[in-house]
Structure 1
Amino acid sequence: MGLRDAFVDLVLGGVCAGCGVPGAAVCGECRAELSAAVPFTAWPDPVPAGLPVPTATAPYAGALRKVILAHKEDGHYALARPLGDVLAGAVRAALGARRAAWLCPVPSARTAVRKRGHDPLRRLVSSAARELRRDGYDVRLADALTVVRRPADQAGLSAEERAANLAGAFAARSRWAERLTDQPVLLVDDVLTTGSTLVEAARALSLRGIPVLGCAVVAATPRRTASGS
């Protein structure tokens, strides 16, 4: 638990981020809801060209949506572990029979990281990787992408507008290009909406000769078609 979480628990008393009941950061009922999520192939509708197969653990709704926002925007660091467990489920499904991969998170702009006081996605990926290694997977975090042009706020943009807004936003770090050549790489993000962010991230890696196996996300927005995992 981070210092902020500890302070809130001490002064105000802890509440569940998913339903608001007093007690743990995620109550037993909400944790069970998160644990029961079944990964699925979450193609956006429409599907943007160049999107590697996306796997989500659950729809972006209910308790999971609230927990993601509490961790990401409110800095409740203690939520990284339960969310990391959810993300690990998406990674397992995306890998299929594979037992090894590099996990490459979609990067956030430095200004966004400073404003939030932490890098929420990187924290989730690190937590997921620890859980997967305990389960016998050989997974490692690859900070292979960087933001080279900060896009405008995506809220309210159509799929086409999001794609144009993100064009050229990411680049692969030079020191990772050779290291990831011929290596299994999964792109990782917290929420999939239109797929534009993951398309741009995959494009940036492919320009340096880094192929992408697929994408793993914690959740996908409900306005999409889903097929069995």
Structure 2
Amino acid sequence: MSLYSFFGCLFLAYGPILSIFFLYIARNAQYVLLMVSSAFFCLIALLISSVIWYLAKKTQSTHAVTIAYSVAIQEIFRWGFFRILSRAETGLNLVSRNPNSPFNRPVFGFVSGFGYALMSCLVSYISLLVESLGPGVKMCQSCPGLSLFFVSAINTTIFSLLHMAWMMVAFEGFSSYKTKSGMLQITWVIFSHYGASYATLFNASDIHLGCVYSALIGVVILAISCAWIAYGLKSRNYINRHTN
């Protein structure tokens, strides 16, 4: 039964992100390089968070504190990656399939978000996934009828999609940070990242069906982010049609 659980959680956690890779990103060498670069930035952010966690022994068991500085470091590196990418954006546009397309920046944001999503989800869930091979089963505290492996797999899927959405929204915000909408987008990414991360604390709480609330909060944040992205793409399409 543990083997069935392992593969079930494996495909649930990484199925969507692997599908996106093989169906879209793997076909373009430029996207693969951009994905690897973004994943490297995320890895550095996670490494710094791990070092802080190791040194701050008094707060190692306080997950709220760990989330506070981990999210902050990830967002700082998200901004740093955008700064580097913006310097190379002209060259990236030249070698892209559509050099003059107004949608290149959202595509770059999506691929960069994929790299962030891939690395963060691998680091956060892979050890727990291996534990699902047995011999025991860990049950979720807030949802005793579900295993922790299954609940964490759902959260991994949600966060993988969230990171891609956050990166696209953040890229738009960083590129127009002097405007009200740009600052609003940056603020949304930061606070929604904190909200989704702190919502995962419901899984280990005594709140009845806390794991359901955690997942719902993540889905709502994802829906709002996707609506924001759709509005931005629609606006770009409108501007493109009226300038050509």
After TM superposition, the score normalised by the length of structure 1 is: 0.28
The structure with more strand, counted as a fraction of residues: 1
The structure with more helix, counted as a fraction of residues: 2
**Larger relative contact order (CA 8 Å, sep ≥ 6):** 1
